[in-house]
Amino acid sequence: MATVPKEGLCISSFLIITEKNGPKNSVLVGRINPKADWDHIGAINPSRLERASKGWMLPSSHLLMRESPETSVKRIIREQLGIEDESKVHLNPQPIVFGDVGVNQHWDLGYIYTGSMAKEDLPKHSNTWVDLKFVDFDKAAKSDFVRLQNDVISYVV
């Protein structure tokens, strides 16, 4: 009999956006603004919000109830990045899908959407992020990333 794991199952979408005409492994990441409505825009509950605000994080979110991965990634672009014109983000249509069994048999199922965008198309100001920029993944300390984020990036970069 199949059941949901005792410690839960997270289904998430991640955006790995590289800088168009930038360094090879330059990935868009941010440090979240804990005052923003992350319960909705990233499905991060208040108990996890404090930990998540301490490191680099990919634009990402748990899927909301009845939301498809494709719809969630469009929501992430709009709500987290503040980009209304989706054509500014050149996404590959097929996500990379991964599964991971974490601590205490918690399961993660993730959809990684990859793409690129021009640095000048990033919003100049964001209420969602304290800092949002392209970071060279190879030069950044892995310990600077929020849990699982550097693992997700390593699937692609």
24-28, 89-93, 153-157: least confidently modelled range: 153-157
Read off the pLDDT of each residue in 45-55 and give the average, rounded to a whole number.
83
Window from 42-46, 134-138, 145-149 with minimum mean pLDDT: 145-149
Banded model confidence at residue 104, pLDDT cuts 50, 70, 90: low
Indicate yes or no: pTM above 0.85.
Answer: yes
Of all residues in the chain, what percent carry a pLDDT higher than 90? 46
Query: pLDDT: is 81 or 46 the higher one?
Result: 81
Q: Give me the pLDDT at residue 101, please.
A: 77
User: Token pair for residue 122?
Assistant: 């990033």
Specify the amino acid at residue 120. Answer: E
CA–CA separation, 122 and 89 (whole Å): 10
Instruction: Determine the Cα–Cα distance for residues 48 and 32; give it in Å rounded to an integer.
Output: 12
Q: What is the mean pLDDT of residues 86-112?
A: 86
**Cβ–Cβ under 8 Å, residues 33 and 133:** no
What are the tokens at 143? 């310990």
Give strand pairing partners of 134.
Answer: 28
Summarize the confidence of residues 129-144 as an average pLDDT: 89
Could you say which DSSP state residue 68 is in?
A: -
Q: 3.90.79.10, 3.40.50.300, 3.60.20.10, 2.60.40.10: which CATH number matches 9-154?
A: 3.90.79.10
Residue 76 CA to its chain's centroid (Å): 8
